[in-house]
């Protein structure tokens, strides 16, 4: 059974720390960007998310959003994925992510989304 309540690391040296899931499987947590974040002033970012009820599925899907608190560039990143348990009982998160920066207007939206 896969549980998100722990510390997770990524290939890009980022870290997500989920302390406790609430009864409705939502969580508030922290996200620590790795060197790839590009701004050494950022230490910890707020994270909010939810996962499927692990009582219903053993390898739940989940989503979470990170609010980047940068004055010069406002942006948010959303992650969507699933937690898998391998044959060696190791838990792995597989995610897709979408980053949205603030655009000057609709014509600039194409370059604000990654």
In the chain, the percentage of residues whose pLDDT exceeds 90 is: 26
Report pTM.
0.80
pLDDT category of residue 62 using cuts at 50, 70 and 90: very high
DSSP assignment letter at 99: E
Distance CA(81)–CA(94), nearest Å, equals 5
In contact, 27 and 20? CB cutoff 8 Å: yes
CATH number at residue 95: 2.40.128.30
- Per the domain annotation, does 114 fall within a domain? no
- Per the domain annotation, does 113 fall within a domain? no
Q: Which residue has the higher pLDDT, 39 or 95?
A: 95
Structure tokens at 3: 């549980």
Long-range contacts of 24-29 (CB under 8 A, 24+ apart): 24/50, 25/50, 25/51, 25/52, 25/53, 25/54, 26/50, 27/51, 27/64, 29/64
- Per the domain annotation, does 17 fall within a domain? yes
Mean pLDDT of all residues belonging to the chain: 85
For 11, the domain range is 7-108
Distance CA(80)–CA(64), nearest Å, equals 7
pLDDT category of residue 65 using cuts at 50, 70 and 90: very high
pLDDT in tens, 7-55: 888 888 888 888 788 888 899 888 888 765 566 666 788 899 999 887 8
- Per the domain annotation, does 69 fall within a domain? yes
Q: Tell me phi and psi for residue 37, to 5 degrees.
A: -65, -25
Q: Tell me phi and psi for residue 93, to 5 degrees.
A: -100, 130
Mean pLDDT of 67-74: 72
Distance CA(107)–CA(114), nearest Å, equals 15
């Amino acid at each position: 059974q896969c549980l998100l309540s722990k510390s997770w690391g990524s290939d890009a040296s980022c870290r997500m720390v989920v302390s406790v899931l609430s009864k409705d499987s939502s969580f508030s947590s922290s996200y620590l960007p790795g060197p790839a974040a590009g701004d050494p002033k950022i230490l910890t970012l707020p994270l909010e998310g939810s996962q499927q009820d692990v009582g219903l599925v053993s390898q739940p899907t989940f989503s979470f959003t990170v609010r980047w608190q940068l004055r010069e560039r406002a942006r948010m990143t959303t992650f969507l994925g699933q937690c898998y348990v391998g044959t060696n009982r190791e838990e792995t998160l597989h995610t897709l992510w979408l980053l949205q920066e603030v655009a000057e207007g609709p014509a600039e939206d194409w370059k604000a989304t990654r």
